Amino acid sequence: MAAKAFEKQGMKLLTGATVKSLDKKKSGVTATIEKGGKSEKITAERVIMAVGIVGNVENLGLEGTKVKVDRAHIETDEWGATGEKGIWAIGDVAGAPVAGAQGLP
Ligand SMILES: Cc1cc2nc3c(=O)[nH]c(=O)nc-3n(C[C@H](O)[C@H](O)[C@H](O)COP(=O)(O)OP(=O)(O)OC[C@H]3O[C@@H](n4cnc5c(N)ncnc54)[C@H](O)[C@@H]3O)c2cc1C
C-alpha cells in the first residue's frame, strides 16, 4: 500500500538493493547501487537515510509473563518498567526514543 502511494508520487522504489557509494557534487549526489549482481548509478538532488527500529522480541521467554509486546517493541513506562514486576526494557527493544537519546541527560 505504501509502495503504491510512493510510486503514484513519482518515486522509484528499489528493494533488495545496496548503496555501494555516494558521490557528492555541487549538482547533486550520484549513488552507485547494486541489485541482483547488477550495478547502476542514480543521480538525485539529495540523499536521505531512514531506518526503522525493530526489536528482537522473539524467544526471550516473555510468553506467560505480563510483559506486553506491541509491534516488535516491549511496552514500558517512562522508567523502563514492563508489566511484569522485576523486568525492565530499555533501548531499541523498547522503541523510540533510541537508546543513544536515552543515555543523554
Ligand atoms: C546506521 C545507524 C546509525 C545510528 N546512529 C545513531 C546516532 O548517531 N545516534 C544515536 O543516538 N543512535 C544511533 N543509532 C541507533 C543506536 O545504534 C541504537 O539506538 C543503539 O545501538 C541501541 O542500543 P541497544 O543496546 O538498545 O541495542 P543494540 O545495540 O542493538 O544491542 C542489542 C544487543 O542484544 C543482542 N541480542 C539481540 N537479541 C538477543 C537475544 N535474543 N538474546 C541475547 N542477546 C540478544 C544483540 O546481538 C546486541 O548485541 C544508529 C543506528 C544505526 C543502525
Which of these, 103, 60, 51, 100, lies nearest to 82 by C-alpha position? Answer: 60
Instruction: Please state the domain extents for the chain.
Output: 2-44, 51-105
What pLDDT is stored for residue 62 in this prediction? 93
Rounded to the nearest angstrom, the distance between the alpha carbon of 83 and the centre of ligand 1 is 23
Dist. CA 29–CA 7, nearest whole Å: 21
Given the C-alpha cell 522503541, which residue does it identify? 95
The pTM of the full predicted model, rounded to 2 decimals, is 0.67
Dist. CA 86–CA 82, nearest whole Å: 8
Check pocket membership of 72 for ligand 1, CB cut-off 6 A.
no
What pLDDT is stored for residue 54 in this prediction? 86
**Mind listing the pLDDT tens digit for each residue in 25-49?**
998 999 999 999 999 999 999 998 8
Check pocket membership of 60 for ligand 1, CB cut-off 6 A.
yes
User: By CB neighbour count within 10 A (0-12 exposed, 13-18 middle, 19+ buried), where does 30 fall?
Assistant: middle
Q: What is the average per-residue pLDDT within 83-100?
A: 85
